[in-house]
Structures are given as structure tokens and as C-alpha cells.
């Protein structure tokens, strides 16, 4: 599988070997790369598959289409991974042997200033992963109430002064619409607490998560993944911030997002997974040195248990 773009130029993969190794790939198995991007993980997975094996890649970003190529063992779903089961049925697979997801924003999305994901370049505040999506960061900043903006910044950015920032945004937009990153940075300047880059990253993260409904999409994806995995199949997730990692950790532990396993009629714990990584696996210092964006990555791995109630 050779893409038209160089995968390293599109996205520098994090924990590439570790994540693919964690899948425990069977040569004739069915696998999912839920966040295709530049195709680095897909390319690595395909190395282990024979002509009976198959891989389905998911990505909602149109730019990722340029990285796909003809391979009889590969199918591409141009879709959000929260529609996992729907597209697996479309391709004739009711169950799979393993699923890998590398969450967050790709290097390509960060580096394309026009996409509006970064505060390091002046651009329109877009932030849509699916470029056909209706809601942008501009919409949030200019149509949400101060209370709604505060909730987004507090919940998804974990800003301590979210109320003050929301009020300032509301006051400033009365004068003119907030449409560019430079405008937003000018508003935030006097309100920044602590490290400037970290603070701005939290604000942009919060807006991006809201634009793309990332946490709800992740939760839907995890629930669908639990249903389509075969017993013994592996689910490998690489996350980049605490909100994602917390959801993954709780779901692996209990099969829900409370973190507390449900019980059957007899009081037995209903746990769909065996947790393989008691603590998340982190990138090595060498990998972080080569790719600073890897520094916040955490990888968790779980294995589907046999349903003893059947």
C-alpha cells in the first residue's frame, strides 16, 4: 500500500511499533485503523496480513483520501469512527480481531494554518476535522451564550478563569465578530494565567473538541468497538489529553464511563475487557526528542473477554 503523499509528511505517527505490536495481529484477521490519517499505522498493520486478512481504515477528513491506495486487503471508510458498526456491516464484517485508534489532531491538520487548529499562525477559526461539518469555532465564539462558552472552556480546556474569558469574548464580539486566531489571541492576552503556550493550547483544544464533538464521538466509538470485537480481540487507543484518557481508562475498566462495573443477577461483575496496560504506555525520551508532539501521548490496551453469559 503506497500512498500518493509521504505519510511522514502528513502525520508523524506516535508509538507506531508499540501500538501495532499490541494488536497481536493474526495474518488472516480483520482489523480496523479507526484514525487513518497519513496511513502510517495501516501500512504497518498490512505488513502482517496475508491475502485472507483485511484492514478497514476510517477518516472523516477529506485530506486523508490522498493517502489511500489500491490494495485488495484494504477498504477505506470516509467517515467519523463513531459509525464503526455501520461501515463494518457495509464491508461485510460483523466482527473484527483488533481495532487501533490514534486520537486527536494529525500533524497535517496542525501544520495547515488555514484549518485553524493552531494559535501559532493567523487564520480563520475553523477547526473542523470534517470539512463538510456545519459548526466552526467562529460559530461557537459568536453565537454561544457566555454561559455556554464558559462551560466549553471549563470542561474541555480545564481553564480556571473560564468565566472571565467567556465574559470578555462576549463583550468583544459586540464590537465585531471574532473570526481569526489573531483576534482571539488579542482578547486572551491580558487573561492568560501561567505558561502562555499551555494556556492557549487549552483554549484551542476546548474549541476544537466542541466543534468536532470529540468526547461524545469517542464514547460512541468505544461502545461500538466493544460490540464488534471478537473474544480475544485487542483494542488499542492512543490519547493526548486527560479527557480522552479518562474516558478510555474507565471504559476499559468497566465497560461504561462511570468506571464502576455493572453486575449480573448473581452479583458477578460484568466486565467486557481484560486490561492489558495497567498503566498507560508512554513514548520513549528518544521518540519525544524526535517528535515533540508525542510528549502527551498515552497508550492503553484492552482485550475482549469471552461472554460467559452466552
Judge if 7-107+214-304 and 113-212 fold alike in CATH terms: no
Q: Percent of the chain beyond pLDDT 70?
A: 92
Cα 205 versus chain centre, distance: 12
* Model confidence at 25: pLDDT above 60: yes
Q: Please tell me whether the overall predicted TM-score, pTM, comes out greater than 0.85 for this model.
A: yes
* Choices 3.20.20.70, 3.30.300.10, 3.20.20.330, 1.10.150.170: CATH for 113-212: 1.10.150.170
Mean pLDDT on 11-26: 93
Residue 286 has what pLDDT? 96
Q: Give the separation between CA 184 and CA 22, rounded to whole angstroms.
A: 41
Spatial distance between the Cα atoms of 223 and 274, rounded to a whole number of angstroms = 15
Task: State the DSSP string of 287-301.
Answer: HHHH-GGGGG-EEEE
| φ/ψ (deg, to 5) at 259 | 85, 0
What tens digit of pLDDT does each residue of 150-196 get?
A: 999 999 999 999 999 999 999 999 999 999 999 999 999 999 999 99
Q: Does the structure show a pLDDT above 50 at 309?
A: no
- Average pLDDT of the segment spanning 225-253: 97
More confident residue, 155 or 261: 155
* pLDDT of 285 strictly over 50: yes
Maximum pairwise Cα distance, the chain: 63
Enumerate the domain spans of the chain.
7-107+214-304, 113-212
pLDDT, tens only, 57-72: 999 988 878 888 789 9
Query: By mean pLDDT, which of 58-62, 139-143, 154-158, 207-211 is the weakest?
Result: 58-62
Residue 9's pLDDT is: 53
Fold exhibited by the domain 7-107+214-304: Rossmann fold (3.40.50)
Distance CA 35, CA 114 (A): 21
Distance CA 6, CA 3 (A): 7
For cell 504497518, name the residue.
44
Query: Using CA atoms, how far apart are residues 269 and 258, in angstroms rounded to an integer?
Result: 14
End-to-end CA distance of the chain: 39
Picking from 54-58, 270-274, 278-282, which range would have the lowest pLDDT averaged per residue?
270-274
Q: What is the pLDDT of residue 266?
A: 79
* Residue pair 121/109 in contact by the 8 Å Cβ criterion: no
pLDDT above 70 for 4: no
Query: Average model confidence (pLDDT) for the chain?
Result: 91
Amino acid at each position: 500500500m503506497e500512498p500518493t503523499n509521504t505519510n511522514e509528511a502528513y502525520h508523524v505517527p506516535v508509538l507506531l511499533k508499540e501500538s501495532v505490536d499490541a494488536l497481536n495481529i493474526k495474518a488472516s484477521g480483520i482489523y480496523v485503523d479507526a484514525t487513518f490519517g497519513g496511513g502510517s499505522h495501516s501500512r504497518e498493520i498490512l505488513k502482517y496480513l496475508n491475502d485472507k486478512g483485511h484492514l478497514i481504515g476510517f477518516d472523516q477528513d477529506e485530506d486523508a483520501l490522498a493517502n489511500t491506495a489500491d490494495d485488495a486487503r484494504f477498504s477505506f471508510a470516509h467517515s467519523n469512527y463513531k459509525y464503526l458498526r455501520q461501515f463494518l456491516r457495509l464491508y461485510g464484517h460483523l466482527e473484527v480481531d483488533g481495532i487501533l485508534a490514534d486520537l486527536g489532531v494529525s500533524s497535517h491538520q496542525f501544520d495547515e494554518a488555514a484549518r485553524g487548529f493552531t494559535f501559532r499562525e493567523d487564520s480563520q477559526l475553523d477547526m473542523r476535522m470534517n470539512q463538510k461539518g456545519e459548526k466552526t469555532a467562529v460559530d461557537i465564539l459568536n453565537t454561544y451564550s457566555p454561559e455556554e462558552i464558559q462551560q466549553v472552556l471549563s470542561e474541555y480546556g480545564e481553564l480556571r478563569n473560564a468565566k472571565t474569558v467567556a465574559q470578555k469574548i462576549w463583550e468583544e464580539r459586540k464590537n465585531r465578530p471574532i473570526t481569526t486566531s489573531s483576534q482571539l489571541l488579542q482578547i486572551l492576552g491580558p487573561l492568560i494565567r501561567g505558561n502562555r503556550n499551555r494556556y492557549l493550547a487549552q483554549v484551542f483544544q476546548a474549541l476544537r473538541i466542541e466543534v468536532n464533538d470529540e468526547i461524545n464521538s469517542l464514547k460512541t466509538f468505544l461502545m461500538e468497538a466493544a460490540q464488534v470485537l471478537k473474544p480475544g480481540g485487542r483494542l488499542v487507543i492512543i490519547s493526548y489529553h486527560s479527557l480522552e484518557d479518562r474516558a478510555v481508562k474507565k471504559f476499559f475498566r468497566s465497560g461504561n464511563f462511570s468506571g464502576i462495573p455493572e453486575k449480573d443477577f448473581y452479583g458477578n461483575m460484568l466486565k467486557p475487557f481484560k486490561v492489558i496496560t495497567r498503566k498507560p504506555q508512554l513514548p520513549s525520551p528518544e521518540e519525544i526528542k524526535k517528535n515533540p508532539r508525542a510528549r502527551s501521548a498515552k497508550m492503553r490496551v484492552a482485550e475482549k473477554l469471552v461472554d460467559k453469559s452466552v
